[in-house]
Amino acid sequence: MHIPKIGVIDYEMGNLHSVSKALLNAGADVKILTEPFELERVDCVVLPGVGNFGDAMQRLREKNFEEKIRSWILSKKPFLGICLGLQVLFEFSEESMETKGMGIYQGSVKRFPAEANGKKMIVPAMGWNSISAKKNGILSDLDEKRFYFVHSYYAEPHNQEVIAATSNYGIEYCSALEDDSILALQFHPEKSGRDGINLLKIFIKRIGK
C-alpha cells in the first residue's frame, strides 16, 4: 500500500501536535501546512479546529486557505475535517451569525438546546459518546463505538444522505459526514484512544489504495 502524505493545515485554530501524532501512529506520512501552495505537495488534507466558528473562518481567509481548500474538496481529493473542521464546511453557524462559512454543504451549525426531554442540558457537551453509523463507509465497522467530544454546536445538513453517523446528546444530531472523498468528524479521533487510531487507519488505508 502507498503510504499517503497527509497535510495538516496550520491556521492557529487546531491542536496540531495531537492530531499529527495520531496520524503518524496510524501509519501516515505527516506534513504541517503553513502556506496554501503546500497543499500541492500532499495526497490528503486535514483541517482540525478548536474554538470559535467566526475566528476560524477569519484565520482561514487571512491566511488564504479558504479558496484552496474549497478547490481541493471540489476536485474530490481526500479531505478530513475534525470538530471545527467539520462545522466550517457549512454556510453559517449560530455561534457567529455575521460570518459566512465555506458553504461546501447547504445547512447550518446550531447550538445544543438548553433543555431537552424536560432535562437541563450541560453545554458544551464534553466527554465520551457513541456513534451510530448511518451508511456503508469508513465508519461502518465502528458502529456504536465511543469517541471523545467537546462541542457546544452541531451541524445540520440539508442533504441527509451525507450523514455518516449520528450521536445523541438530548437530541439526535449529525456527528460525522462522509461524501465522495470527504470525511468530517464532530468528535476528536486523536483523543479517542484505540478506536480513534483504528478510524484513522481505515481512512489512511482507503486513500492509500
**Residue 133 bridge partners (DSSP):** 165
Query: CA 33 to CA 136: how far, in whole Å?
Result: 31
- Half-sphere exposure (Cβ direction) of 194: Cα atoms closer than 13 Å: 1
Please report which helix (H) or strand (E) contains residue 151, including its range. strand 146-151
* Catalytic residue status for 83: yes
Q: Give the position of cell 445544543.
A: 112
Q: What is the DSSP string of 1-37?
A: ----EEEEE-SSSS-HHHHHHHHHHTT-EEEEE-SGG
Residue 79, CA distances (Å) to 118, 150, 190, 193 in order: 39, 21, 16, 22
Whether residue 188 lies in the annotated active site: yes
Place of cell 479521533: 189
Rounded CA separation 90/156 (Å): 9
The whole-angstrom separation of Cα 191 and Cα 82 is 11
* Active-site entry in 66, 83, 174, 178: 83
Which residues does the annotation mark as catalytic? Answer: 83, 188, 190
